[in-house]
């Protein structure tokens, strides 16, 4: 084993990184082993610990860039150990969508026993889907600390133009070689920091949803990543410049964030309204004739936007009156044209809109609950949102964008984004809370003209 590689089973790793009290959570996780450190790539030879002496058929999935970064070396390491390796190399800059998946499915004729996904977000998600389809085990080799999905059982797949999250095969073994990750473009590492910093908002949105619809978050899962996030924030400048110690702290926090999704059985611990802002921005980029940005860059801006909306809603106070204003705003914004989306995406969004409008309790009942239990709600949310204090400064220290102008989204499109993105998923977030209270349109205007658009 490489001297600097922290290679261990998941229970021991959890104890070392998250504390002894969290060790038991490993019993609920699919990940068999995790290798983080310098030289960790060599651990690919052994696949799972239970198969260290077996010879397996392995399908290596990568794109041209990630193949150069680590895929070629992984293939050599596997072959040297006696494994039979096939290759599925995508086109440059691939997308995790139904078309790409269809193009890769013939590679499964190789009948792989393992999929080795070598890459970051897109390749990781494609690997999960292929492992699921093949009934194979999954070795994930990260080439960038750019997102938190490596250890989650969820794949972000675009289907018919709509960003979806689908249950999928989680990694059985994860390798994060710090030398490989430090060699990735620094922008990718900074985006990973941006994705991770959604935690104060995504956690608050999870609590908010449970306030109305039950399914209260398990405290151990809700708080699993908090200390690791704080350690990463402490290293924000180190992360920005590619320092190995900072990158290791970031990797640890990203892994824990993925674990929280696996334990929750959904993306709720790490994905709320801020992710809807990012996803809708992705889906709208072509129609708006705007360039695409990295997921974590958009999430960073979306997180600050959601934090500001939470802050303003708390200032505005509990709802008053009979709720007619709330219903008017809800009906007006529930039927956006989504004119910039593809036809198939518009149809898919309308289905999600219908599901959200059918949520029980409905808006009137939710407004009544807010009027009666306003202080109770905020006593719960404030504990989570407090973790967002100073976040804009830390995002800047890490080199992340902190305004919509930095992701080329002008005020009119910012307003459209905030008003409409909530309808692409049935998940209840702060954007829906603002809609229920009749404040979303005014707050969208404020945010689009405020400091987060400059």
Q: Mind listing the pLDDT tens digit for each residue in 158-202?
A: 998 888 889 998 999 999 999 999 999 999 999 999 999 999 999
CATH number, position 113? 3.40.50.1970
d(CA 297, CA 146): 10
pLDDT score of 332 more than 50 = no
289 and 154 co-located in one domain = no
Whether 316 is in a domain gets the answer: yes
pLDDT value of position 34: 95
Structural domain for 162, as ranges: 5-184
Whether 46 is in a domain gets the answer: yes
State the average pLDDT over residues 278-287. 96
pLDDT value of position 4: 59
Whether 198 is in a domain gets the answer: no
pLDDT value of position 326: 54
158 and 296 co-located in one domain = no
40 and 160 co-located in one domain = yes
292 and 397 co-located in one domain = yes
H or E stretch at 434: helix 430-436
pLDDT score of 333 more than 70 = no
pLDDT value of position 50: 60
Whether 409 is in a domain gets the answer: yes
276 and 144 co-located in one domain = no
**Band of the pLDDT at 2, cuts 50, 70, 90?**
low
pLDDT value of position 52: 58
177 and 317 co-located in one domain = no
Q: What is the pTM of this model?
A: 0.93
Whether 244 is in a domain gets the answer: no
Whether 412 is in a domain gets the answer: yes
Structural domain ending residue among the three candidates 135, 155, 184: 184
8 Å CB contact between 148 and 270? yes
State the average pLDDT over residues 147-167. 91
Lowest mean pLDDT among 213-217, 336-340, 403-407, 443-447: 336-340
State the average pLDDT over residues 77-100. 96
pLDDT score of 5 more than 80 = no
State the average pLDDT over residues 290-303. 97
149 and 273 co-located in one domain = no
pLDDT value of position 252: 96
41 and 172 co-located in one domain = yes
176 and 41 co-located in one domain = yes
- Of 79, 168, 172, whose CA–CA distance to 130 is shortest? 168
d(CA 295, CA 300): 9
Whether 396 is in a domain gets the answer: yes
Whether 249 is in a domain gets the answer: no
**Band of the pLDDT at 436, cuts 50, 70, 90?**
very high
Structural domain ending residue among the three candidates 184, 214, 246: 184
State the average pLDDT over residues 416-439. 96
174 and 295 co-located in one domain = no
Q: 9-57: per-residue pLDDT in tens?
A: 899 999 999 999 899 999 999 999 999 999 999 999 988 766 556 899 9
pLDDT value of position 335: 63
Number of domains in the chain: 2
Q: Name the β-bridge partners of 58.
A: 85, 114
pLDDT value of position 215: 86
Average pLDDT, the chain: 93
pLDDT value of position 383: 95
**Band of the pLDDT at 454, cuts 50, 70, 90?**
low
Structural domain ending residue among the three candidates 184, 202, 217: 184
8 Å CB contact between 67 and 93? no
pLDDT score of 274 more than 50 = yes
What is the phi-psi region of residue 174: left when phi exceeds 0, alpha when psi lies from -120 to 50, beta otherwise? beta
444 and 302 co-located in one domain = yes
């Amino acid at each position: 084993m490489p001297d600097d590689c922290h290679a261990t089973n998941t229970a021991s790793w959890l104890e070392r990184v998250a504390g002894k009290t969290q060790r038991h959570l490993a019993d609920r996780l699919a990940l068999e082993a995790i290798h983080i450190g310098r030289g960790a790539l060599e651990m690919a030879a052994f696949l799972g610990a239970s198969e260290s002496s077996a010879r397996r058929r392995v399908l290596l999935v990568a794109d041209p860039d990630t193949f150069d970064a680590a895929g070629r070396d992984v293939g050599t390491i596997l072959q040297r150990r006696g494994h039979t390796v096939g290759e599925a190399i995508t086109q440059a800059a691939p997308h995790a969508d139904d078309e790409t998946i269809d193009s890769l499915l013939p590679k499964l004729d190789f009948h792989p026993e393992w999929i080795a996904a070598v890459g970051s977000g897109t390749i990781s998600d494609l690997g999960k889907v292929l492992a699921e389809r093949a009934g194979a085990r999954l070795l994930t080799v990260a080439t960038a600390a750019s997102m938190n999905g490596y250890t989650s059982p969820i794949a972000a797949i675009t289907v018919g133009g709509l960003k979806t999250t689908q249950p999928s095969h989680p990694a059985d073994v994860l390798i994060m070689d710090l030398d490989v990750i430090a060699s990735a473009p620094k922008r990718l590492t900074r985006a990973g920091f941006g994705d991770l910093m959604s935690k104060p908002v995504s956690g608050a949105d999870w609590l908010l949803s449970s306030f109305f619809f039950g399914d209260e978050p398990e405290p151990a899962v809700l708080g699993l990543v908090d200390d690791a996030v704080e350690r990463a924030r402490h290293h924000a400048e180190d992360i920005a410049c590619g320092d190995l110690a900072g990158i290791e702290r970031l990797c640890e926090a990203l892994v824990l964030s993925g674990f929280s999704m696996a334990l929750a059985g959904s993306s709720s611990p790490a994905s709320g309204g801020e992710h809807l802002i990012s996803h809708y921005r992705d889906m709208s980029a072509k129609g708006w004739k705007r360039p695409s940005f990295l997921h974590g860059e958009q999430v960073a801006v979306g997180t600050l936007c959601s934090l500001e909306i939470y802050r303003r809603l708390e200032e505005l106070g509990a709802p008053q009156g009979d709720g007619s204003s709330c219903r008017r705003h809800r009906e007006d914004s529930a039927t956006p044209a989504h004119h910039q989306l593809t036809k198939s995406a518009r149809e898919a969004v309308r289905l999600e809109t219908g599901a959200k409008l059918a949520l029980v309790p409905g808006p009137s009942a939710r407004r009544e609950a807010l009027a009666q239990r306003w202080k109770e709600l905020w006593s719960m949310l404030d504990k989570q949102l407090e973790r967002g204090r100073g976040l804009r400064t830390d995002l800047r220290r890490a080199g992340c964008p902190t305004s919509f102008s930095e992701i080329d989204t002008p005020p009119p499109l910012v307003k459209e984004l905030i008003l409409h993105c909530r309808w692409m998923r049935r998940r209840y977030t702060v954007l829906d809370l603002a809609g229920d209270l009749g404040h979303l349109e005014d707050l969208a205007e404020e945010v689009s003209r405020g400091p987060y658009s400059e």
